[in-house]
Structure 1
Amino acid sequence: MNFSNSNLQLYRINTFNKNKIIKYIVSVILLLITVSTFAQQGINYKALIKDGSGNVLASAPVSIQFIIYEGVALTNNVYQESHTVNTDANGIVIVNIGQGSTTGNVFANINWGIDQHFLNVQVNTGAGLVDMGTTEFMAVPYAINAANVSGLEKITENGNTGWRLIGKNPANYGDIGNNATDLSSSDS
């Protein structure tokens, strides 16, 4: 190609800009791929909201408060949050527990393995919070599947119960921590 100086400079600028744009697009794509691989923290919650007379509240503002208790006494509040949303045309709200406005505790820090957990739901349609009840969290498909992990055995040592790789000599390890998973593979 035969370029004059001004054409050559214009060509270099256009090439530089194209390369810069391509690098930017590739960076954005990689960022989106990376973000999508992180595990989501939260529990999907969907409800049909009705007023005190049983009528569906369509396209109306509501506040929902969630409290997660640890233990059957329902006195240990380990997490609390609220959501202010609008119902859809059918009176439905969909929120993610763990992604609302919290009162201090962090959803990701809930230790689900140490005790039973209960969810209390309260809804405010304009006349104050109404307690909708408290129910125990039960196993979900992912948690049920996690119990089927192969290669681990449940062990109890010095009153603590945990999991260790199958066939490993306990003499090569320290005592298992309560609800701990030991994936180290020392053979000596």
Structure 2
Amino acid sequence: MRQLILLQFLILAVLAGAQVPQSFQYQAVARNGSGEVFAAQPLTVELAVHAGSAQGPVVYQETHAVVTSALGLFTLSVGQGTVVSGEFQAVQWGASSHFLQVSID
């Protein structure tokens, strides 16, 4: 009986560890078209996840309001922004390659 209970706990532990992450971290330095850093500025960052190729269909899209550091650095969690379209949890990460398009406004 103890072995059966232990086996059930081990199976549950493995299944709990196999959950899809709810977000992932993204970090970048914001620059304008001339390569100059956007230092200590509020920006809107739009992220789009494309399936299959960089020109493939958008399966998830969101926006983030960020403020850059003095060096133009910003960090955000993809999957925790304001959703524009799709569901982050519904993205089939293992089905094909995915490409992240980042736009700054």
**Shared topology, TM-score over 0.5?**
yes
- The 3 A distance-change label for structure 1 pair 72 and 90 is closer
Report the counterpart of residue 122 of structure 1 in structure 2. Answer: 103
Structure 2 gap segments, 5+ residues each: 1-18
Partner of 1:46: 27
Q: Deviations over 1:37-63 (max 9, x none)?
A: x97511111111123332222110111
> Closer, same or farther in 2 for the Cα pair 1:97/1:73, shift >3 Å?
closer
SS of 1:104's equivalent in the other structure is strand
TM-score after normalising by structure 2: 0.72
Taking only aligned residues, the RMSD between alpha carbons, in angstroms, comes to 2.0
The answer for unaligned runs of 5 or more in structure 1 is 1-37, 125-188
By how many angstroms is 1:82 displaced? 0.8
- Cα deviation, residue 104, structure 1: 3.2
With over 3 angstroms needed to count, the CA separation of the structure-2 counterparts of 1:40 and 1:92, relative to structure 1, is same
Task: Compare relative contact order (CA 8 Å, sep 6+) and give the higher one, 1 or 2.
Answer: 2
Alignment of 1:141-156 (within 5 A): none
2:73 aligned to which of 74, 82, 92: 92
State the percentage of identical aligned residues.
Answer: 34
SS at match of 1:94: strand
- Larger Rg, first or second structure (1 or 2): 1
SS at match of 1:51: coil
- 1:66/1:73 CA distance change after superposition, 3 Å: closer
Within a 5 Å distance, the mapping from 1:1-188 to structure 2 comes to 40-72=21-53, 74-124=55-105
Aligned residues: 87
Deviation of the 1:94 alpha carbon? 0.4
* Bigger strand fraction: 2
**Structure richer in helix, relative to its length:** 1
